[in-house]
Amino acid sequence: MKKVYLQADNMVSSLGLTTREHWVNLVAGKSGIKETSHKRIGSVWVSEVDNHNLEKAFLKYEIPEKATRLERMAAYSIKEALEGSNLDLKDPTTGFIFSTTKGNVDFLKTREALNELDSSLALHSTAKKIWSMCGGGNQNPVVVCNACISGLMAIIIGGRLIRQGVYDRVVVCGADEISDFVLTGFNALKALGSSACKPFDAKRDGISLGEGCATVVLTRDANFEGIEYVDGAVSNDANHISGPSRTASGLLQVVEQIWDGTEPIDFISAHGTATIYNDAMEAQGFNRLGMEDVPLNSFKGFWGHTLGAAGLLETIAAVQSMKEDLLIKSLGFDELEDAFPVSVLKSNRMTEVNQIFKTSSGFGGCNAGAIFKKND
C-alpha cells in the first residue's frame, strides 16, 4: 500500500491563525471560548475568530476581497499552509477536498449580499471559488458534507485517493462559521453548555460552539516522511439521527477495522463535545476496546466545536503533540464519570508519542477514526 504523509498544515480559530500560534496557546492552557450575549439566546459561550487579525492576514496573503469571510478564511488557510512550498495547484495530480457542514449559510436570508460577492450558497460553488482564489486549476473539488465527522472524513478520503493513484497529493481544507442559523439550532436542541465546555467531565452540560478553518496537505512524496497517515475508516451506528449508539458500536467498528493492537496507540484525540451522550459513548467505547489507560483529551475546551473544521483542527493539534512529544491536557476536565473509566489528561505530559488515534462522531449516526504515526 502506498504511504501517505502529512506535508503541511494550517490552523485558524480563536487561538490564532497559524499552527505555531495554536501550539503556544495549547501548551499555555489558554482557551479562546468566551461568554457573549446573543439577541435571541441571551448568554452564550462561543469561540470566534478575531476579525481584525484576519483582515491583516488577508492583506499579507493578498486574499481577494470579493468573497465571503468563510471563503477568504479558507483561501488564507490553504495559502498559509503552502507558504514556501512552490506547489502548483493547477497540476492535475493535486486534488482538493473541502469539508463543511453549512458553508455560507449565514447568507440564507440575505442572498442579494451574497450575489454581490459573486458567491453562492451551493457548497460546491464555494469550494470551487476557494480553490480558484488559491490559484487552483480545473480539478473538481470533492465536497464532504457529513455532519461533524466531515473534517476527519476528508483526510481519510484524501489518503484513499492517493493510495488509489487518483492524485499524488491532496489539499484538504475544512471551514465552518458561527451563524445565527447554527447557534439557534443547537440552542433549540438544548445542546449548548452553560459555561465553557467541559469534555468528559462529570459536570459537563453541553457544547461551546466554535468557528474555524484548517488545512492539511497529504502527499505520497517521501521527502515529507515525518508523519504518516496510517489508515482510517468510517461507519454508521444505525441507531438514531441525533444521538449516538448506546453501545458505542460505530466507534468499535471503526477501531476494529484500522487497528489490530500490535503497534500501541500512545494518545487518543477524542471527539469529546461535552454533551452527556457523546462523551459517555466515547468513554464506553474506549473502555470496551481496552484503551482505558491510553492518555486521551478533547481539544474542544480550547476552541469549541468547529463542526466541519473540527476533525482537521484536532488532527493537526494531535499530530503536533506527537511531533513535540508533549500531550496537552483536556481543558475543562476536572472529575471523571464513574461508569466507564478512561485516562483523560488533567495536565500536560512529556512522553514519547509514536502513534496516535483521532476520532469523530456526528449526527446521522456517523463515526470516523484515523491513525497517524511518526517515522523516525
Partner 1 sequence: MTEHIHLHSTIQLNSRMLASGSKVLWENVNDKDLNQSLKEVYQLLDMAYPKFYKMDNLSKFGVLAVEALVKVAPELKAGDLEKTGVFLMNSSSSEETDEKYLATVNTEENSLPSPALFVYTLPNILIGEICIRHKFTGEQGFFVSDHFDSGFLYPYLEHLFQNELLEKAIIGWVEVKDEEPVAKLMYVKNNQDGGAKKIKEEAMKNWFQA
**CA gap 118, 107 in Å, rounded:** 12
Buried b (16+ CB within 10 A) or exposed e, 207-227: bbbbbbbbbbbbbbeeebeeb
Residue choice 64, 185, 292, 354 for contact with partner 1 (CB under 8 A): 185
Coil, helix or strand for 159?
helix
Residue appearing with cell numbers 485516562: 343
C-beta atoms surrounding 132 within 10 Å:
15
Residue choice 105, 255, 313, 353 for contact with partner 1 (CB under 8 A): 105
Region from 30-38, 50-58, 183-191, 214-222 binding partner 1, contact rule CB under 8 A: 183-191
Binding mask 38-77 for partner 1 (x = CB under 8 A): --x-------------------------------------
Residue whose CB is less far from partner 1, 46 or 105: 105
By CB under 8 A, tell whether 240 contacts partner 1.
yes
By CB under 8 A, tell whether 365 contacts partner 1.
yes
**CA gap 22, 32 in Å, rounded:** 10
Extract the C-alpha cell encoding 353: 508519542
Residue choice 18, 208, 215, 253 for contact with partner 1 (CB under 8 A): 253
Q: Return the sign of the alpha-carbon dihedral for residues 80, 85, 91, 97.
A: negative
Residue choice 93, 132, 195, 257 for contact with partner 1 (CB under 8 A): 257
Residue choice 22, 72, 102, 305 for contact with partner 1 (CB under 8 A): 102
**CA gap 336, 349 in Å, rounded:** 18
What are φ and ψ of residue 126, in 5° steps? -60, -45
| Site size for partner 1 (CB under 8 A) | 55
Report CA dihedral (341, 347, 351, 357) to the nearest 10 degrees.
50
Residue choice 59, 108, 276, 339 for contact with partner 1 (CB under 8 A): 108
Region from 28-36, 103-111, 199-207, 270-278 binding partner 1, contact rule CB under 8 A: 103-111
Question: Are β-strands 4-12 and 227-236 bridged in parallel, bridged antiparallel, or unpaired?
Answer: antiparallel
Residue choice 30, 34, 38, 125 for contact with partner 1 (CB under 8 A): 125
By CB under 8 A, tell whether 147 contacts partner 1.
yes
By CB under 8 A, tell whether 362 contacts partner 1.
yes
Binding residues for partner 1, rule: CB under 8 A, are 40, 101-103, 105, 108-109, 121-125, 140, 142-147, 153, 157, 160-161, 163-166, 180-181, 184-190, 233-242, 249-250, 253, 257, 362-366
